[in-house]
Each structure stands twice: as C-alpha cells, then as structure tokens.
Amino acid sequence: MSQREQWSSKLGFILAAAGSAIGLGAIWKFPYIAGQNGGGAFFLIFILFTLVLGLPLLLAEFTIGRTAQDNAVNSYRKIAPGTRWHWVGILGMITSFILLSFYSVIGGWIIVYLVKAIAGDLNNLTVDQYAEVFNGTISDPVVSVLVQLLFILMTIIVISGGVQKGIERVSSFMMPALFVLFMILVVRAVTLDGAMDGIRFLLLPDFSKVTSQTILEAMGQSFFTLSVGVSVMVTYSSYLPKTQSLPRAAFSIVGMNIFIVLLAGLAIFPAVFSFGLEPGAGPVLLFNVLPTVFSQLPFGMLFFIAFLVLFLFAALTSAFSMLEIIVSVASNGEPSKRKKWAWIIGLAIFVCGVPSALSYGVLGDVIIFGKTIFDLADYTVSNVLLPIGALLITLFVSMKMKRSALWEELQRGSRVKRGLFEAWFFLVRYVCPVLILAVMMDVLGVW
Ligand code: PHE
C-alpha cells in the first residue's frame, strides 16, 4: 500500500478545513433560518453555541483525526479497538450522504443563476421579476435535476483526483476574494433606504420570539456551519503533519465563519427590509434578494457573476469534504480505488438527491411530517443527525481518550497553555454533552 497522503503545506489544511466549514451554511442557510426565527435573538444564540459547542467540538475532531491518522471509521477503531465507537464514523458517513443529496440542490441553483447572469437574462429586473425568474427555473424538473447533477459531477471529479491535488488547489484562492466581494455587498446593502430596520432585525435580540425550536435550530446551525458532528474534520486532520497547531486552526476557522455569517446577514437583511420582502421566505431568500442588491451597484451584473463564481466555489469546497469522508473510508486509503468509489458514491448520492431537487416543482405537494422532501432532509441532518454525532464525539473524547494523550496531541506544533487546555477539556467533557442533550430533550418536551 502506498504512503498516506498529506496536505502539501500548512496552509493547505487550514484552507481546506475552512473551505469545508464556509459554504452554504453561513451564506445561504444562516440568513433564511435566522429570518424564520426572528433575527437577533437567533443570531446571538447561534454565536454562543458556536463558541461553547462548535469550537470545542472542532478541536475535538481535529485531535481525534491527527491522533489516529486514519479515515473517519478507522480513527475510532484505532483509538478504541474492539468497541462499537466506529459507528460514530459510520453515522458521519450516512449524515454526509444525506447532506450532499440536498446540498447539491442548492449548488445547482447557484449554477442556474450563474448561467442566467452570464446570458444577460437578469439585467434590470425588479425584485418581483427576479423572484419569478428564479422560482420558475427551480420548479422546472429537468433544469433542477441537471444542475444538481452538474454540481455533483464537479465534486466527483475533484475528489477522485485526491486530497492534495484536488482540494487544496481549488481552496487556495477563493476565500479572500469572497470576503472582499461580500464587503462591497454589505456597504451597498447597509446604505439602502430603510436599511436600519434590517440591521436592527439582525442585531437587536427579541427574546419573546425564542422557543425551544429556535434554540435547537441555532444549535444545529452552529454545527452545520462548522462542519462538526460528521467526522469530516476527523478525516481532514488525519492528513495533517504533526507540526501544525490544532488550536490555532480551530480558532481561525471559527473566527472566519462568524465573520462571514455576519457579512451574509448584513448583506441580506437590510435589503430584505428595504425592498419590503419577507425575512421568513425560506430557502429561496438569498436567491430572491441578492440580485436586487447587486443590480443597485455600478457594474452590478459583473459583480453578481463574480459573486456567484465564488459562492459556487465555497459550496463546492464544502461538498468536497462530504464526499471525501465517504470515499476515504470506502477506498481505505488506497489511491487506486479512490476514483472508482468517488464515482459510485457520488452518483448514488445524486440518485437519492433527485426527490429533493424536485421538491420545488413536481414533488412540491409531497409533505412528510409537515415538510417538503428537501426541508425534511435538511432538518433531519441539521437538527437530528448533527447533534447526535456531536454528542457521541464529545462522549468518545471524554470516555475513550486519555487526558494526558489529548494534552500531548494538542501541544504538537502549538504552545497551547495548560489553562486553555483544561477549559477545552471541561467544555468537551461536561458542558457540551449536557447542553446538547438538554436542548434536544427540551424540544422533545421531556420536561
Ligand atoms: N459547513 C458546511 C457549510 O456551511 C456544511 C457541512 C456540514 C460540510 C457538515 C461538511 C460537513 O456549508
């Protein structure tokens, strides 16, 4: 068997892990979930969960991955041989599978808009016309399935090329560009007439709107945007040389993520209020609002095209990580098998994702537990599977890994202070599991 692949540079890992984290979660999902959950209070709770749960979990996954240096399933096996803990990795694979099946639908929507913007179909439309064009396209069964397939094909092609060649190269230039474009967008959005209402909506918490459902969704959202609970970060850090500081990587990824969430919120909500749109519009929110904001900028459509390209990259780098975790287990570290499995699994995900793509058209009337197929898949991943995965990972670290071994692993490549380590360990051991369980039980009405 050939030697295990590694990231080719220090930056490679940070970029790829940040690329996994920053994606549709921060840019597309956050605004629409926050919009449905009353804005400010949701945002605040989301930030708290990101710091108290997401950050420690991210570091926990990094530590597991770099300790074991193996794929998502074998990592648990290596650390706790002869136990059933590797099911945490299998759960992560299942979660990733479902996740990519609907994530690719939104990836497809970006492609639709990109094609339309390049073709000049989006010039000088009104807010309502943008919504019309967009809703018309995503309800078309052939178009929505084709673009979904295209998105998955891009993911398959990169992942079949291998970690280093594929993921790193694509991740290394898009992030800074995305930040810059977002800033331009925010400046335009917050200077629109009536923008203050949107800023207030996002930043002033109104706790009367908070229910146990809001709290669960904020928790799910914090896991979703950081890609934790699925062992994706276990997989990525397993390719990491021992010279890299794990805490520094975790802090910078969380920092970037919070920043991009804030930018997305500040780009969307002022515009929503200024144009008199509905913040609770759901998954179509971003797609209905953004072109209008861009059209208010000089050279707006050019900016919009650039934004869509970067947005597509951001979505793709997250999609890579979802497919990578499954392919790395299936091919068991053998580069010769990687290509075959990337295609088999990728296409299987596409087939299972077709009903989600049709949820906005021909299957729109299929409602299960009060939700469309797309919404059900999204809800199940974010609010059921990710919290369960996260809970199990915290239990694994506190029950199966020695405190001294954790301390040693975290010190490699880093000068982490003992106090910081103890705080992290306390959060992972006590606070995270108790809080995750409490939030879940609260929604189930256990008390
Ligand atoms: N964090 C990614 C995003 O925000 C989604 C993701 C979740 C990716 C879990 C991998 C694992 O788009």
pLDDT of 14 strictly over 60: yes
Alpha-carbon gap, residue 175 to 313, rounded angstroms: 9
* Closest by Cα among 28, 11, 43 to 318: 28
Q: Where do the domains of the chain lie?
A: 10-443
Residue nearest to atom 7 of ligand 1 (CA): 227
Under the banding of pLDDT at 50, 70 and 90, the label for residue 166 is low
Separation of CA 279 and ligand 1 centre (Å): 23
| Minimum-distance ligand 1 atom for the alpha carbon of 232 | 11
* Closest by Cα among 103, 29, 89, 73 to 352: 103
Superfamily of domain 10-443, CATH level 4: Hydantoin permease (1.10.4160.10)
pLDDT higher at 161 or 211 = 211
- Tell me what the mean pLDDT of segment 334-362 comes to: 93
| Minimum-distance ligand 1 atom for the alpha carbon of 224 | 7
End-to-end CA distance of the chain: 53
Tokens of 393: 């990972």
pLDDT higher at 240 or 139 = 139
pLDDT of 447 strictly over 70: no
pLDDT at 10: 66
* Closest by Cα among 227, 187, 219 to 315: 227
pLDDT digits (tens, 9 = 90+) for 237-277: 988 878 888 999 999 999 999 999 999 999 999 999 988 88
- Tell me what the mean pLDDT of segment 82-100 comes to: 96
Under the banding of pLDDT at 50, 70 and 90, the label for residue 370 is confident
Alpha-carbon gap, residue 271 to 191, rounded angstroms: 9
3-class DSSP state of 43: helix
pLDDT digits (tens, 9 = 90+) for 421-432: 999 999 999 999
CB 39 within 8 A of CB 52: no
Tokens of 355: 């009903």
Tokens of 336: 């010769």
pLDDT higher at 69 or 15 = 69
| 225 within ligand 1 shell (Cβ under 6 A) | yes
- Cα 237 versus chain centre, distance: 17
Separation of CA 107 and ligand 1 centre (Å): 13
3-class DSSP state of 417: coil
Under the banding of pLDDT at 50, 70 and 90, the label for residue 1 is very low
Chain-wide mean pLDDT for the chain? 90
Residues, the chain, total? 447
pLDDT at 105: 96
CB 345 within 8 A of CB 330: yes
| 25 within ligand 1 shell (Cβ under 6 A) | yes
Give percent of the chain with pLDDT exceeding 90. Answer: 62
